[in-house]
Structure 1
Amino acid sequence: MKIGRYEILDEIGQGAMGTVYRARDPLIERTVAIKTVPIAQLQQEGADAESRFLREAQSAGRLSHPNIVTIYDVGEADGLAYIAMEYLPGRTLRDLMDKGPMPLDLALDTAMQMAEAMAFAHEHGVIHRDIKPANVVVTGKRGQIKLTDFGIAHLVNSDHTQAGQMLGSPRYMSPEQAMGREVDGRSDIFSLGAVLYEMLTGRYAFDGDSLPTIVYRVINEAPVPATTLRPRISVGLASLLAHMLNKKPEARPDARTLVSAFHALALTLASTPATSPIPVPSTNRVSRPLRVLAFGVPIGVFLLIGLGIIVIEHFLATPPHAPQLPLQQAASPAVDDTAAAQPPPASDEAANTPPPQSDAYLTGLDKKLVELRIKRTVLLLKYTNQHPDVVQVNRQIEQLRAERGRYLKRQQKN
Structure 2
Amino acid sequence: MKIGRYEILDEIGEGAMGAVFRAHDPLIERTVAIKTVPIAQLRKEAPDAESRFLREAQSAGRLSHPNIVTIYDVGEADAVAYIAMEYLRGATLREIMDKGPMPLDLALDTALQMAEALAFAHEHGVIHRDVKPANVVITGQSGRIKLTDFGIAHVVNSDQTQAGQMLGSPRYMSPEQAMGREVEGRSDIFSLGAVLYEMLTGHYAFDGDSLPTIIYRVVNDTPVAASALRPQLPAALGELLGRMLSKQPEARPDARAVVGALRSLALATPPATAAPSHRDEITRPLRVLAFGIPLAVFLLIGLGIIVIEHFLPSPTPSAPPAAPRATGGTAGTPAASGPEVRPSGEAPGPPEAAKRESDPYLAGLDKKLVELRIKRTMLLLKYTRQHPDVVQVDREIERLRAERRRHLKQLEKKG
Shorter-chain TM band: 0.5 to 0.7
5+ residue gaps, structure 1, are: 297-414
- Counterpart of 1:411 in structure 2 is none
1:281-300, aligned counterparts within 5 Å?
A: 284-286=387-389, 288=392
- TM-score in terms of structure 2 length: 0.68
What is the letter of the counterpart of residue 279 of structure 1? Answer: P
1: distance between equivalents of 2:169 and 2:398? 35
- Counterpart of 1:318 in structure 2 is none
- Secondary structure of the structure 2 residue equivalent to 1:269: coil
CA contact (8 A) 2:104 2:274 kept: no
C-alpha deviation, 1:163, in angstroms: 1.5
C-alpha deviation, 1:291, in angstroms: 6.8
Relative to structure 1, is the Cα distance of residues 20 and 127 closer, same or farther in structure 2, using a 3 angstrom cutoff? same
- Counterpart of 2:326 in structure 1 is none
CA contact (8 A) 1:263 1:292 kept: no
C-alpha deviation, 1:293, in angstroms: 10
2: distance between equivalents of 1:46 and 1:20? 21
Which deviates further from its counterpart, 262-271 or 23-32?
Answer: 262-271
User: Deviations along 1:190-230, whole A, 9 cap, x unmatched?
Assistant: 00000000000000000000000000000000011101100
1: distance between equivalents of 2:26 and 2:399? 38
CA contact (8 A) 2:56 2:149 kept: no
Relative to structure 1, is the Cα distance of residues 5 and 206 closer, same or farther in structure 2, using a 3 angstrom cutoff? same
CA contact (8 A) 1:17 1:151 kept: no
- Counterpart of 2:275 in structure 1 is 278
1: distance between equivalents of 2:189 and 2:90? 25
Which deviates further from its counterpart, 78-87 or 155-164?
Answer: 155-164
CA contact (8 A) 2:69 2:86 kept: yes
Which deviates further from its counterpart, 51-60 or 168-177?
Answer: 51-60
2: distance between equivalents of 1:290 and 1:125? 36
Relative to structure 1, is the Cα distance of residues 184 and 18 closer, same or farther in structure 2, using a 3 angstrom cutoff? same
1: distance between equivalents of 2:81 and 2:174? 29
- TM-score in terms of structure 1 length: 0.68
User: RMSD across aligned C-alpha pairs, in angstroms?
Assistant: 2.1
- Secondary structure of the structure 1 residue equivalent to 2:48: helix
User: Deviations along 1:334-372, whole A, 9 cap, x unmatched?
Assistant: xxxxxxxxxxxxxxxxxxxxxxxxxxxxxxxxxxxxxxx
2: distance between equivalents of 1:291 and 1:263? 15
C-alpha deviation, 1:292, in angstroms: 10
Which deviates further from its counterpart, 76-85 or 10-19?
Answer: 10-19
2: distance between equivalents of 1:295 and 1:61? 34
1:81-120, aligned counterparts within 5 Å?
A: 81-120=81-120
- Counterpart of 1:8 in structure 2 is 8
1:2-81, aligned counterparts within 5 Å?
A: 2-81=2-81
Relative to structure 1, is the Cα distance of residues 175 and 265 closer, same or farther in structure 2, using a 3 angstrom cutoff? same
2: distance between equivalents of 1:292 and 1:285? 12
C-alpha deviation, 1:51, in angstroms: 1.1
Determine which structure has more spread, i.e. the larger CA radius of gyration: 2
- Secondary structure of the structure 1 residue equivalent to 2:24: strand
User: Deviations along 1:99-157, whole A, 9 cap, x unmatched?
Assistant: 00000000000000000000000000001100000000000243110000111012112
CA contact (8 A) 1:16 1:149 kept: no
C-alpha deviation, 1:270, in angstroms: 3.0
Q: Percent identity?
A: 75
C-alpha deviation, 1:43, in angstroms: 1.0
CA contact (8 A) 1:23 1:34 kept: yes
